[in-house]
Structure 1
């Protein structure tokens, strides 16, 4: 019996080959062959291609951006997948390998979101290979020992739907697919020349940045004043109960200098920070002018050459195997980034950073150590040395000693309620490897004052001062700030945050939502509109992601189903249509945008002239077509009805049918299908020729038509010439000499 090991990507396949003895062969007495995907090979088809037993009118509604056609009924979807562009060769190679074996071994990534399982099972499902035997390799990393152990102890699988990880990944994929509706809702509600892309993560990013920008820009400095003391070493002594005053002049001056009493000295230490993830790396580099999409592209190339580790990992630690694998290269890595190896004395695994769980391990340098940072720049571009130095220093800091300091506490002898504290550094430890002042500031909770730090400790005499307390201005939003907010709220994964941020800030995007200038974030015009549409919406609610992840866990556990949970999206869309349209009124007012007409109601169906589904405006010149008239128009028939002239307000009888037409806007022709009136003469039911409904832009009233039919001459003063000039003339309805048929004949003078 031969089995096929399906890995997620070629680099993973190579690691498996090295561990098992080649791309094919025998291990532990079992014949195998390794085949690799390239991430996802399939994606969900377009919404209009998902409908089961769809009529042409159903397809037209699904393509529609008319809010009357939302929400979608997800129960009508077949959830059809199609190959992703450019994957045909990989699909053929995987098909050839999997179809010939007795057992398929799933060896894709073990992701918290189940994405690796989805990659594998979607391939198996699309290739119709459910009749095979299946098993799952569950490995902590790609070290040979881990792969070999996972191969021997692989877990048997009954079927795709028995796998909780697949079920939760499938649900998330379908849920995110349905959120495309919110882009249509936002775009139509804004009624501007832009597509406002919404989504579970995009909307949260816009909401967070918009609120922080408002807080930063609207900040008003309102100081308070309080009695405090300061010693000769610049340490402050504060009594929390001391009253505060609105002005400096109000503060009573009743204190005098006092001796400082040292209460305690305590030696303390802090361990190195945890290793970087992709979002943290991209955020640090954004301040150096490196765009997130550039980080992603450069990192991927470096990873493929094993210069750095797998980029899209969700691990925050590394395994013992991974630690041991990189240990022989530590001094060489330190030399590349100019770190003193004498600082790297902790060569044993730290329990805080090394744990035998996870898959790829946290982001770190790879086993292929470059000759120099200049060599990286020459091969991969200017972002490469910056990426490598951040990763290397983050990793090497783990091998340095703890940061040591002495915490000193004291009070004033005369005023014991005034207390002070200072930190006295004793040994920089890991801070000498990977630390800067921005790091120190970012570690503080919002609104917290930085603790005193000096090299001498508390002073001896505290002098009374009037201290100005200024509430800190909310910081301007930056990529580093945003990634911290998302991580704190557990919104998205490190890799997803980075790729989504790259998407919404991309210079290549037609409608970007955010601007990134060296890591500082501002709103684009589209982002500002989006932010003002989001208050009170479900798609902009931070709690939605928490709810989605809770639902994913329930689906994996089998306590609920995707079908039941996806049904709630329709209600969210209904709610958000109302909310966004309400918000759009204030949005246009605040941004000085012109008011827009309400979206016109559409009629739809199959037009007999072409046999294709079509949509057209249901109202024409003040007349709303009845259901019967809609059916007649779709059948290609001509209809007659009473209409109202928009110019004069006069009622007139119109007749016409659907036709292909063109309107020109911004110098471009736009084809459309709509009702086209025939303003030429017509014959009534008795065969009597009728005057045309309109001549030179004047629509004849019913009384004027009666006069013309009677042969009367009438004077009208609001005719409009082809050059746009208004003129008056006497007209009658009759025959012109030598020409058949009647027409409107003017008389001038």
Structure 2
């Protein structure tokens, strides 16, 4: 009898596997098993200075622009153990002990089963293989792909295991590795932007840049600039209004740059008015029945944007949704699917009425139990975001998962239930002014509310039907060129969707990172009930990437496409890594030039940066270029003293203590490690040891 060691992504997932299989150890199907769990990434890429030969370590540790960009041919792509937080001891410790424990258990296993989340980015595959490679596992590796953490899905996955013993042929792992390494290389842009902002702009900020971050920040910056530079251009146009309140106007195409009947002055409109009849007769020229299908199923970013209007932050929604998923109340969060499979549709049917009762939907409205082609397709994996297999007792009970719990379930459920309702049907009436047919009006009259009774995508629309009037009077309408809309999380989410940037979950997590960092002052975007604006830090970080590849949505989409191609073995890893290096090489000079314009464009920083008096040169002790503080305790080193220090000679200077006492300090340049970073500075003899 074969014995399998099953590795889940986290302890909560392991508990769900225990429920599905019958315990932490036991027998299932054709094998014995033992369950173990990870805590996310147990290993990760080591710091840049630990990826290169020792003699290059200091160069790759440096944030100096002289040492950027990197030559990634030096990289050995080493992993190191991460830190694991123990909630009982409230301390962090290395994950090595946990990985060693897995290694010990693996000695008695005939195969290891990767049962981490089936993540579209390859993340689940990557974090499992990081451990397998660390323990030097050479045996059989099997993959369990499950749609959710329900017992049924887990059991089905465990009876359909897939052999992925060769890591070089595991497309999901290759995709995950490509994304991981690409992001690692691109973190140079954070170093470049941060150093350039400080060195040339006097802005003492951490300018974090990345695939999604930069595109999101720069889009908000562009919109804020468009609003700031907006100039109102009024226009005047003749229209009719009937006694029922309907407006009749001449049609304008969006692409029209000039509209002949729109005038820049009211006088011109008055002149045209003289040639038009002052009153006319509205007549119906066509009537057509139309209908709309229920809206598409929500993804996590769309759900987050809706909840933002109620004051729920993206970070809170993300964390709460994850907890709800782990208890099988909602579906898998990090899905890319926009539809569900026929099997998922059938599995949901027994719970439809219970869900409807819970969220206050009239069950009698759910008359369409046939799968819609727009919502149900035989493709995808986890399926779109929707209610999970476990229906909660009450909405109020969901607050234990997070304050947004009840609202998450209510919106998600109503959106899902909408596809079981009939189409929204209405009659579209087109009318015109009989004496002047170029003036028309369109009126929609509701016939069957259908899914509108269950779920509203936007604010409640005016549905009161008005008949056309008997008479219409000519008037001059004053309008203006469209003002750029104020940015919102919903608006930004729509931009990301349109450009196919990220998944619903990655958009939400990145947005949460920008709006709700550990320290409030480090936020890049301020979110007030979904209305957003850049903070000073965010505006600075956005400005320095103006004109770069990393800030362009087309670039971000191309990068995601490359990850997919790597996972499908259409291009190799070297191609993906080269694209990252080319992005950095292209963007670095642009970022530096932008940094030089920071104060001119954005003004002086709110907190003045105290720039140290630094000097650089080749230090004979290491034969490498270094940078050190030219001043020490009130003394500024002369050119001769600097030369001696770089020659690794000891010098004596007259220094001044904090109390104003003058004393002689003898010393030379020394290396010191502070918070993991190595610095070179003048160290007097009495400070050594």
Same fold, judged at TM 0.5 (above)? yes
Query: Given that residues 225 and 247 in structure 1 are in contact (C-alpha distance below 8 angstroms), is that contact kept between their aligned partners in structure 2?
Result: yes
Higher mean displacement: 284-293 or 227-236: 227-236
1:306 to 311, 328, 352: 328
RMSD: 3.5
Instruction: Number of aligned residue pairs: give it.
Output: 636
Encode CA deviations 1:346-392: one digit per residue, 9 max, x unaligned: 23333322234333322222333333333333x23432222222222
**Matched position secondary structure for 2:593:** helix
Q: How far apart, CA to CA, are the structure 2 residues paired with 1:585 and 1:674?
A: 28
Does the aligned pair in 1 maintain the 2:614–2:627 contact within 8 Å? no
Match of 2:306 among 272, 284, 295: 284
Unaligned runs of 5+ in 1: 441-451, 641-654, 663-669, 679-749
2:206 aligned residue (184, 187, 195): 195
Distance 1:478 1:661, change over 3 A: same
* Residues 267-288 of structure 1: CA deviation (Å, up to 9, x unaligned): 1111111222111111111111
What are the residue-to-residue correspondences of 1:235-384 with 2, within 5 Å? 235-240=246-251, 243-251=261-269, 252-253=272-273, 254-256=275-277, 257-377=279-399, 379-384=400-405
Cα distance, 1:228 vs structure 2: 2.3
Deviation at 1:160, TM superposition (A): 0.5
2:513 paired residue among 492, 503, 512: 503
Q: Residue 116 of structure 2 corresponds to which residue in structure 1?
A: 108
| Residue in structure 2 matched with residue 484 of structure 1 by the alignment | 494
Shift of the alpha carbon at 1:598? 11
Greater CA radius of gyration, 1 or 2?
1
Match of 2:87 in 1: none
> Hey, what's the Cα distance between the residues in 1 that align with 2:612 and 2:629?
13
Do structure 1's residue 529 and structure 2's residue 540 form an aligned pair?
yes
Between 94-103 and 589-598, the greater mean CA deviation after superposition? 589-598
What TM-score comes out, normalization by structure 2 length? Answer: 0.83
Q: Does the CA-based 8 Å contact 1:60-1:615 persist in structure 2?
A: no
Partner SS state of residue 382, structure 1: coil
The structural deviation recorded for 1:249 is: 2.1
- SS across alignment from 1:68: helix
Match of 1:632 among 647, 654, 665: 647
SS at match of 2:334: coil
1:600 Cα deviation after fit: 4.8
Moved more, 7-16 or 265-274: 7-16
Cα distance in 2 between the residues matched to 1:601 and 1:631: 10
Shift of 1:568: 4.1
The more displaced of 231-240 and 196-205 is: 231-240
Q: Is 1:602 aligned to residue 602 of structure 2?
A: no
Per the TM alignment, residue 133 of structure 1 is displaced from its structure 2 partner at its CA by 2.0
- Change in Cα spacing, 1:306 to 1:15, as seen in structure 2 (3 Å) is same
Q: What SS does the corresponding residue of 1:280 show, helix, strand or coil?
A: helix
SS of corresponding position for 1:418: strand
> Hey, what does 1:126 align to over in structure 2?
134
| Aligned CA distance change for structure 1 residues 108 and 359 (closer, same or farther; 3 Å) | farther
Deviations along 1:423-444, whole A, 9 cap, x unmatched? 111122212222164386xxxx
Structure 1 residue aligned with 2:54: 54
Point out where structure 2 has 5 or more consecutive residues left out of the alignment: 85-94, 252-258, 654-664
Alpha-carbon distance, 1:396 to partner? 1.9
Residues 605 and 170 (structure 1), Cα distance of their counterparts in 2 relative to 1, 3 Å cut:
farther
2:599 is aligned with 1:588: yes
In the TM superposition, what is the alpha-carbon distance from 1:263 to its structure 2 partner?
2.7
For the structure 1 residues 134 and 676, does the alpha-carbon distance in structure 2 shift closer, same or farther, using more than 3 Å as the test?
Answer: closer
Q: CA deviation at 1:28?
A: 4.6
Shift of 1:291: 1.2
SS at match of 1:411: strand
Q: 1:98 to 1:344 in 2, by over 3 A?
A: farther
Q: 411, 415, 419: which one pairs with 2:440?
A: 419
Query: Residue 297 of structure 2 contacts residue 416 of structure 2 at CA under 8 Å; is this kept in 1?
Result: yes
Residue 543, structure 1, aligned to residue 554, structure 2: yes
Q: What is the CA-CA distance between 1:153 and the residue it aligns to?
A: 4.5
Alignment partners' CA distance in 2, 1:588 and 1:358: 49
Which TM-score applies when normalising by structure 1?
0.77
